[in-house]
Each structure stands twice: as structure tokens, then as C-alpha cells.
Amino acid sequence: MAYRNLEITHRGAVRTITVNRPDKLNALNRDTINELTLAFNQAAQDDDVRVVVLTGAGEKAFVAGADISEMNGYTPVQAQGFSRAGQQLMSRVERLGKPVIARIQGFALGGGMELAMCCHLRVASEKAKFGQPEINLGLVPGFGGTQRLLRLAGRGAALELCLTGAPISAQRAYELGVVTRVVAPEVLDEAVNALADQLAVAAPLAAAGILDAVLQGGEASIDQGLEFETQAFALAFSTEDMREGTSAFLEKRKATFKGR
């Protein structure tokens, strides 16, 4: 289908979803959130898609935040609905069951940082900037910023970024665990494509099990998480991919995984 605010492209088993509002620094309004939710639902249902890359159009911004011009007129009830729509999108991305890579070339502020944090891997240009500046607008982060930042970087970092609203560099975001890789701007696409290609040929059912074990088991006690892992490990033995992977190892050849 055609999207007003997104561009969807494919490269083999890799689907790239681009927020395409460069004149607004790819800010998230309600329509864009709805379109992103639909696009990720479609990616989840398409067996030909094994990896999703999420990025923003242009060089200035991944996503610079929520659309303030739209938010300015919200009532509290409308704001609540907007927050819930954003959080539902972030949860859809996080629980896609397929690896999602954020390609971050510029500003990832407010809702943009929240959108990046719900992705499983985040590759940033050295020029990227991160921050939760909502306090400067008299607001509280509304798309999961307080919660995912807490879990990624710890309480101290979450409080510092959210209370000061100050932006940080990509290198500082890497040191805090918010970013998984930082690369020079000129090799950003090369780094993202190489990572996406590596994940695209990995065993998709095993990838889904790993995502579940880390994301769901990680919210439980250690004993519950370990049991979650055991069940995921055992379930993998029911798949053709496990037989293919172990056979390929023993036969000293490259495995071909089919997601079965």
C-alpha cells in the first residue's frame, strides 16, 4: 500500500522503513505513528521479511521527536491517547519477533530516541545526537522514554537525561548502552547493510526465540527467565532449522535456514 509519511524499500530479506517527513525532521505526528504501526504489522506477517531497518529521511534527523505543532493543542484526554498510541507502536516494534535495526544518522530526540530504543540494535553515525528534552517543554516522556532508558542505561542515566533534557553525543550514548555501534557517517549505510545481511541469513526461529528470551524473560526473576530460556532452547529442537544448522556444522558447510 501507499503511505503518506513512510517510504518502504526491500533488499532481499531486508525491509527498510523510512520515516519520510524531512521538512519536519521526521517528527512523529498521529498519522505517522499509525502508519508505522501498520508497516510493522505487515512486516511481522510477511515471511519473506527477516530483518527490518528503521531510519529517517535526510541527513539531519532519524526522528527529531514528536510533532509539537500537533501536540500543542491537545487536551489531557487527547494527550493520553497519543501517548498510548506511541507506546503501542514501540511495543509492536520491540515484540516484532524479527530483528529491527535503527539506522541513526542525525537527531534522535524525545520520541525519536524512544523509537530508537525500542529497536533491538542501534547503529549510529558519529554525528548523531540523542536526548529526552521533554522537560524543556514542561512535559514528561510519553512513548516509553523513562522506562526503556532506565532498562538500557540504568537509573542514574535515565534521571540525568530526562531531568536535564540535555542532548548527548553518539559516543556518550554508546558508553551508556543506548547505542550498540557508532561508525563514521560515510560508512553508516555499509555498517547497517552488513549487519542486516548477517541477520537475514541467520536462523529466523532461533532469532525469534532469542528476542523473546531477552525481552520477555528479562522482565522476570532470574529463575523465571532461566526457565523461559530452557523452554525456548527445547522448542528449537522441534525445528528443521536446528537440524540443518547442526548438520551443516558437522558437515563443515554453510547452513541454509528456511524458518521451519
Q: Which residues are catalytic?
A: 114, 134
Helix (H, G, I), strand (E, B) or coil at 36: helix
Report DSSP letters for 87-129, one per residue: HHHHHHHHTSSS-EEEEE-SEEETHHHHHHHTSSEEEEETT-E
Distance in angstroms (rounded) separating the CA atoms of residues 10 and 14: 6
Report the amino acid identity of residue 43: A
Helix (H, G, I), strand (E, B) or coil at 179: coil
Sign of the CA dihedral running 72, 74, 78, 79: positive
Sign of the CA dihedral running 75, 77, 79, 81: negative
